[in-house]
């Protein structure tokens, strides 16, 4: 979901896909995204394939991102790891919906510009305090429940050592022997390739990778 980080905070126009131009510096090199946001070539490939079949500019990159997010989650969901009964967990129910059944609303327009300044300002940092997290989510009309739910996207993905190296002793060696700005670790060290609720289990065990993850349980101590 960090691929959608600024999607949440500045709309859903896929601005994160835009390369730098003479008129603006884009979001790819913003602090929350640098060296940890990946897969741009996958979206570029899908866009190219679509435009070889459909008239150019018929399907937006923003719609592609939304559809890819749906299909990716469906492919890696594992409801066996959810607390039972699964029908009480919205995420488990969502994972049980097949790709065709979960309809993605189309019609998003692509952004024409991007801003590294906005990305650095609006996307929460990995060391954000609870107060900062709450404020940034409330600024875009998202509730505390939304914040906790969206944070669960950290069940998958990777992060740079420089964003968490002071937190977990189990990763000290990995980070101390490498370039902390390029070496990556899984956000969920237990089930890194599965979309499940292990992220929340990790928080309860004190194993959240980012301090801004762990603070959802501990608060601003």
Residue numbering of the annotated binding site for substrate: 124
Provide the H-helix boundaries in the chain: 5-10, 40-53, 61-76, 90-95, 116-122, 130-138, 144-151, 172-176, 198-204, 211-218
CA distance 170 to 94: 33
Could you list the residues known to form a binding site for Ca(2+), using ranges: 11, 15, 27, 155, 188, 191, 196
At residue 200, φ and ψ (nearest 5 deg) are: -70, -35
Annotated binding site: 11, 15, 27, 124, 154-155, 188, 191, 196
Binding residue numbers for heme b: 154
The torsion of the CA quartet 170, 184, 194, 104, rounded to 10 degrees, works out to 150
Instruction: Check residue 178 and report its DSSP letter.
Output: S
Q: What burial class does residue 55 get, using C-beta atoms within 10 Å of its C-beta: 0-12 exposed, 13-18 middle, 19+ buried? A: exposed
């Amino acid at each position: 979901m960090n691929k959608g980080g600024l999607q949440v905070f500045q709309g859903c126009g896929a601005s994160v896909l835009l390369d730098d131009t003479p008129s603006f510096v884009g979001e790819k090199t913003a602090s929350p995204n640098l060296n940890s946001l990946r897969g741009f070539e996958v979206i570029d490939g899908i866009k190219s394939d679509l435009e070889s079949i459909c008239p150019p500019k018929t399907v937006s990159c923003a719609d592609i991102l939304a559809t890819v997010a749906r299909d990716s989650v469906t492919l890696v969901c594992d409801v066996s790891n959810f607390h039972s009964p699964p029908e009480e967990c919205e995420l488990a129910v969502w994972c049980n919906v097949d790709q065709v059944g979960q309809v993605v609303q189309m019609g998003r327009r692509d952004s024409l510009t991007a801003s590294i300044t906005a990305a650095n300002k609006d996307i929460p940092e990995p060391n954000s305090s609870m107060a900062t997290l709450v404020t940034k989510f409330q600024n875009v009309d998202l509730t505390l429940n939304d914040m906790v739910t969206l944070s669960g996207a950290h069940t998958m993905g990777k992060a740079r050592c420089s964003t968490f190296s002071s937190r977990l002793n189990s990763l000290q060696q990995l980070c101390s022997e490498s370039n902390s700005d390029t070496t990556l670790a899984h956000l969920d060290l237990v089930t890194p390739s599965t979309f499940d609720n292990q992220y929340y289990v990790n928080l309860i065990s004190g194993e959240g990778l980012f301090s801004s993850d762990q603070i959802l349980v501990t608060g601003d101590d």
